[in-house]
Amino acid sequence: MKKKEVPQDEGLMEGRFEDVCYALDDNGNYVAVLSKGWSPKNEAMLQAWDVIHEKVENVRQEVLSGKISPIGYYMEKNLMDLKLLADYVGLPKRKVRKHLQPEKFAQLGDDILQRYADTFEIHLEDLKNFRETLTKS
């Protein structure tokens, strides 16, 4: 693709960010060119975000039905897996896995819950009172 042909389709970032693409200049050399976006890529990103939002909603329903603790919701919402969350809160994966169980979550002290809240960048009370938090939003 030539430098002049690099797509400049406004997309998800609405001009806040630009992608670096490589294209041929007039001398046939590859150069870095900024692109505002590309429609097919923008569409793919929108579809990916739709899938993520659907997963978050499914986990939210699991929390509300008592199948999983609120930690699972915030983990999904922050696009984290078990290992990443364990690393952030400084706990072994097996403990974090236990904390995903509602009965184990209910037994956690404020010190551990605060570590989770700090990781998710939420208030401790929002983590402890998940149902009430949902009605505030």
**Which pLDDT tens digit goes with each residue over 46-91?**
899 999 999 999 999 999 999 999 999 999 999 999 999 999 999 9
CA distance 19 to 17: 7
Average pLDDT over residues 2-23: 80
**Same domain as 104, residue 68:** yes
Domains of the chain: total:
2
Model confidence band, residue 13 (pLDDT cutoffs 50, 70, 90): low
Question: What is d(CA 7, CA 84) in angstroms, rounded to the nearest whole number?
Answer: 35
- The per-residue pLDDT for range 37-52, each reduced to its tens digit, is 788 888 888 899 999 9
In a domain, 108, yes or no: yes
Find the domain containing 114 and state its range: 47-136
Asked if 115 and 72 sit in the same domain, the reply is yes
State the Cα–Cα distance between residues 85 and 29, nearest whole angstrom.
Answer: 44
Q: Specify whether 73 is located in the same domain as 32.
A: no
Structure tokens at 47: 């579809």
The Cα-based distances of 56 to 30, 81, 121 in angstroms read 41, 13, 17
Q: List, for residues 91-108, the tens digit of each pLDDT value.
A: 999 999 999 999 999 999
Could you tell me if 9 and 59 lie in one domain?
Answer: no
